[in-house]
Amino acid sequence: MSIDRIERVSALLRRELAEAFFKVFQSDNLDMAAITVVRVEAARNLRNATVYLSIRGHEHERGTILHKITRKGGELQRLINRDLTLKYTPRLAFRLDLSVAKGDHVLDVLSHLDTPVES
């Protein structure tokens, strides 16, 4: 399968998942503004996909939030299957992506280096 097709399917899954999160978790007590679908990596055979999520803030609750999302993975998959026309709906695996948090930390450090030191 061409790399271009895999990238297009991954981007489509990312967009659909972002919308599906609001439908699935609207009644739950989750801070949806803190959750971002950073990227989706579909396998070459499109049977599996890894969904990388960023959870801003809530440092101590990230594991719990990721667990809640994983538990409702089947429901997210059903919504995607209903909305997309794919031969196979990929099985979703959710992972925490800390790259955004690391980037924020680097920017914070750089902003503190930028301020003049008083003598």
Number of domains within the chain: 1
Residue 108 in any domain: the answer is yes
Residue 8 in any domain: the answer is yes
Instruction: Give the angle 8-80-23 at the CA atoms, nearest 5°.
Output: 120
pLDDT at 116: 64
Cα–Cα distance for residue pair 14/41, rounded to 1 Å: 9
Residue 119 in any domain: the answer is no
Q: The CATH number of the domain where 28 resides is what?
A: 3.30.300.20
Residue 47 in any domain: the answer is yes
Q: 7-59: per-residue pLDDT in tens? A: 888 888 998 888 888 888 877 777 777 788 888 998 888 889 999 988 887 77
- Higher model confidence: residue 91 or residue 104? 91
pLDDT at 25: 82
Residue 96 in any domain: the answer is yes
pLDDT greater than 60 at residue 119: no
Q: How many helices (H) and strands (E) does the chain have?
A: 4, 3
Q: Which domain holds residue 25?
A: 3-114
pTM of the model as a whole: 0.77
